[in-house]
Structure 1
Amino acid sequence: MSWRLGVSFFLFGLINNVLYVIILSAALDLVPASTPKGLIAFCNIVPSFIVKVVWPYLLKGTIRYHQRVIGCCVISVLGMIVVALSGGVGMRLLGISIASFSTGLGGLTFLQLTTAYAPITAGRNIGYFASGTGAAGLVGASLWWELRNFGTRTAIGLSSVLPLMIPFAYFFLLPQPPSVSNQDEEDDGVELIAASSTEYIPLPTDEDEGGATGYRHSRIIALSASDKWRMVKPMIPKYMLPLFCVYLFEYTINQGICPTLLYPVPSSEEHPVIILMIKSIRDYYPLWQLVYQVTVFLSRSSISLGCPPLPAKLLPVPAIIQLVILLALTYESAIGIFGESSEGTSFLLVFLLVSIEGICGGLAYVNAFYWINQEKPSSSDPEIAKQEKEFKIGSIGFPDSSGIILAVLVSMPLELGLCAAQVKRGKELCRSL
């Protein structure tokens, strides 16, 4: 039973996020060289951001997981088909936006689904889901590294079949409520609340508690705006601000700085290892994305691999480290730390800094969601407690998406400015992409 839960949530995280990563990795191939690559990231995150901001605050009633899963699959496939069949930038951006909407809704859905389990199992499932999202980075970047050889349209078209794995995992692999309802104590603490069939019930009023309790379960419950704000306030400094900063810094690096971290193609005599990865100038950006995604996968898998979670009081540390990395890479791109005659040393430094950036980003993500999932609801009523847990883990998607959007807005002029700084000192590689 436990292995089926783990594999299911791993696949949910993997497939739900893999198209997002493929789009980012394909940024150089989807738009002309004169178009800032941050525009791809902007369309790849804004619809997802809207879902994460609006859905948890406006949703009332039963969460229909079956319909959500099927809907996310259909929308993802449709978005990728639009990208594959379109030759113009406008239609491609529209397709990316459609796929982004599905990614946002899917991530919200599966994170909320983890709250249907007992706390210990829910924490592990968060780890598996986070590991899957990290693997999505690795798989997506690696897939694009290989598929791009078939041409952009064919590669995107082949990628459009990946979302079909989500309904398969949900309906055929994930244990359904009847299969685990009587095995809570025997199956390592697994406890599944029938999330797809449990009715929401109203918050009790004074009249309900005073005697009209016979009607307590006859109305639809809905957490009020004040209830939700009460839950959000303590999470802002504890979880939301660190996540916002982490995503702001790492996406500014990935979308605004990494496209300009270019060096001449190395010779096999001087750099026999680097030449195995770099065949042309266009290989640098996908390589930095691949390095970042590998390290994100490893750090997001830390809890599912048995590593202890990062103490909650240390959640701001990854953001601080990433800020230092952002400043260092900005200096390397604009001025050069070691000079033009030491490209091999510069390459190794960038490789190391991007790796640390990925580790920090993954640790911040998995630990923030882990600790939110472990928080106890304020209500003793099981139905109200269920809504509180679903809302809290759903609302935490706001800071990471807002951080990405701000990073995208910053990265577009930053990329152009760094390229201009390189041209001014005689390095024109950024103009040859």
Structure 2
Amino acid sequence: MNTEPTVNIISFIISGWVNNFGFTVMLSAALTMMHGKVPVSAVLLCDIMPCFLVQLVLPFCIDKISYPIKVVTIVICALLGFILAIFADVSVIIALVGVAFHSFSQGLGEMTFLAYSTKFSPKCVSAFSSGTGLAGITGAGIFAILSDLLHLDLKVILYIFLPVPLFMLLSYYISNPKLSPGSDNPELLTTATTTEQAVQIPDKSFKAKLKSLGPILPLILSLLLVYFCQYLINQSVNAVINFPGKYDCKFYTFSQFSCQFGVFLSRSSLPLFKIPFNCVFIPSIFQLCNLILFCFEAIYSFIPSFWLMLVLVFFEGIFGGLVYSSSMHWISVISNNENKEFRMGIICVFNNLGILGASCLGFWLEPFLREKQK
């Protein structure tokens, strides 16, 4: 069998979509949820800290937990996240706890399904990447329509989204690694090879696992930089940018959609376009330039067009998505059976480390930019 069955590709698209849907919704709802009481970066911090911690610790022991248990845990935490966020008008603290549950779910989900993808062909990595991009555009887009166009209350919107995590169970149970040309089940590999892997992988030391990250260091640094800049722009700088008049207080919500649209297109581009390994850092440099440009716009408002700014945000999403999808592709391609699952699981830590840095710096940057506007 030379091709990946359609059912497996669909299952990974669904899992990527569900996994990142709540994460995007929480960020899109940040301004509404916080009621101006705390900086928007508080939501970003709660939306990334548990995710970062779970992805930092679990790759070294996650093979001891079965996939069904991990998937059920992901679904339960996502449901709790939506339920607690519904009480945002009662307490900001309760809402932030809900965001934290979603963060834990998203972090465990990304790590689980990227590791699970090693049992399939590389097409499933691309499918998961496309699903995460689709989550961004649908999460931010549907939220913008329901909140800014239909003017629905935040509670009603979150009630509408409650069934979404249940699709994660569907995505896992319709997948079948035995049908995949990249499967590592005994029917497709020799007994000797399977036995060798079973002995080698669990016995790899902590030091050896860390050493295996050396060849992918350029990808790690690129992910760190591009996500640091992207989320600092989206959650701190864009929260300050405004266009009084017709588009008053609408830029933040629509900028989330515009960025996620770019992310969706770039994360879905792997079948058509792959950045060469040695060039993955280039979009990260462009993203840094974007950050500088947006900071000046927040202070001086020298770009008069609402729509031009959304186009710039769109390219911000393009840069971030290209680095993510290309990095996952190259890790899948250049890794051998001994370190592939670990690398695919741990790489998420580094893009989340960039987001964590952005959330911490955002606590200072957002008030600083607002003060400079006066």
Q: Which TM-score applies when normalising by structure 1?
A: 0.79
Aligned partner of 1:193 in structure 2 is: 184
Q: What is the distance in 1 between the residues matched to 2:212 and 2:230?
A: 28
Q: What is the distance in 1 between the residues matched to 2:237 and 2:182?
A: 46
Q: What is the distance in 2 between the residues matched to 1:167 and 1:176?
A: 16
Aligned partner of 2:231 in structure 1 is: 251
**CA offsets per residue over residues 358-377 of structure 1, 9 Å max, x none?**
11000000000000001142
Aligned partner of 2:321 in structure 1 is: 362
Compute the displacement of 1:220 (Å). 9.1
Question: Counterpart of 2:313 in 1: which secondary structure?
Answer: helix
1:399 correspondence with 2:357: no
**Matched letter for residue 18 of structure 1:** F
**CA offsets per residue over residues 152-179 of structure 1, 9 Å max, x none?**
11211221210001111221x22253xx
* Alignment check: 8 A CA contact 2:50 2:100 kept: yes
Aligned partner of 1:208 in structure 2 is: none
Compute the displacement of 1:250 (Å). 0.6
* Alignment check: 8 A CA contact 1:334 1:418 kept: yes
**CA offsets per residue over residues 62-116 of structure 1, 9 Å max, x none?**
x511111112111111221111145201111111101110110011011011111
Aligned partner of 1:22 in structure 2 is: 25
**Matched letter for residue 45 of structure 1:** I
* Alignment check: 8 A CA contact 2:43 2:96 kept: yes
Aligned partner of 2:68 in structure 1 is: 66
Question: Counterpart of 2:124 in 1: which secondary structure?
Answer: helix
* Alignment check: 8 A CA contact 1:60 1:222 kept: no
Q: What is the distance in 2 between the residues matched to 1:369 and 1:298?
A: 16
Aligned partner of 1:125 in structure 2 is: 124
Where do residues 25-424 of structure 1 align in structure 2 (5 Å cutoff)?
Answer: 25-61=28-64, 63-86=65-88, 87-117=90-120, 121-122=121-122, 124-148=123-147, 149-171=151-173, 173-175=174-176, 177=178, 180=179, 190-194=181-185, 221-236=202-217, 238-266=218-246, 278=247, 281-303=248-270, 306-338=271-303, 343-344=304-305, 347-377=306-336, 385=337, 387-423=338-374
Compute the displacement of 1:191 (Å). 3.1
Q: What is the distance in 2 between the residues matched to 1:366 and 1:221?
A: 28
Q: Which has the larger radius of gyration?
A: 1
Question: Counterpart of 2:237 in 1: which secondary structure?
Answer: helix
Aligned partner of 1:187 in structure 2 is: none
**Matched letter for residue 183 of structure 2:** L
Q: What is the distance in 2 between the residues matched to 1:3 and 1:299?
A: 21
Aligned partner of 1:382 in structure 2 is: none
Q: What is the distance in 2 between the residues matched to 1:218 and 1:311?
A: 34
Q: Does the C-alpha gap of structure 1 residues 194 and 89 become closer, same or farther in structure 2, counting only changes over 3 Å? A: farther
Q: What is the distance in 2 between the residues matched to 1:218 and 1:360?
A: 40
Compute the displacement of 1:217 (Å). 7.1
Q: What is the distance in 2 between the residues matched to 1:107 and 1:350?
A: 31
Q: What is the distance in 1 between the residues matched to 2:225 and 2:251?
A: 26
Q: What is the distance in 2 between the residues matched to 1:24 and 1:301?
A: 22
**Matched letter for residue 262 of structure 1:** N
Q: Does the C-alpha gap of structure 1 residues 100 and 194 become closer, same or farther in structure 2, counting only changes over 3 Å? A: farther
Q: What is the distance in 2 between the residues matched to 1:360 and 1:220?
A: 34
Q: Does the C-alpha gap of structure 1 residues 194 and 160 become closer, same or farther in structure 2, counting only changes over 3 Å? A: farther
The percent identity for this pair of structures is: 29
* Alignment check: 8 A CA contact 2:258 2:311 kept: no
Cα RMSD (Å)? 2.4
**CA offsets per residue over residues 352-392 of structure 1, 9 Å max, x none?**
32111111000000000000001142xxxxxxx3x521101
Q: What is the distance in 2 between the residues matched to 1:35 and 1:351?
A: 25
Q: Does the C-alpha gap of structure 1 residues 217 and 128 become closer, same or farther in structure 2, counting only changes over 3 Å? A: closer
**Matched letter for residue 284 of structure 1:** F
**Matched letter for residue 223 of structure 1:** K
Compute the displacement of 1:308 (Å). 2.8
Compute the displacement of 1:6 (Å). 1.3
| Structure 2: stretches of 5+ with no match in the other structure | none
Q: Does the C-alpha gap of structure 1 residues 234 and 337 become closer, same or farther in structure 2, counting only changes over 3 Å? A: same
* Paired residue total: 362
Q: Which runs of 4+ in 1 moved over 6 A?
A: 216-220
Question: Counterpart of 1:396 in 2: which secondary structure?
Answer: helix
Q: What is the distance in 2 between the residues matched to 1:220 and 1:3?
A: 30
Q: Does the C-alpha gap of structure 1 residues 60 and 111 become closer, same or farther in structure 2, counting only changes over 3 Å? A: closer
Q: Which TM-score applies when normalising by structure 2?
A: 0.91
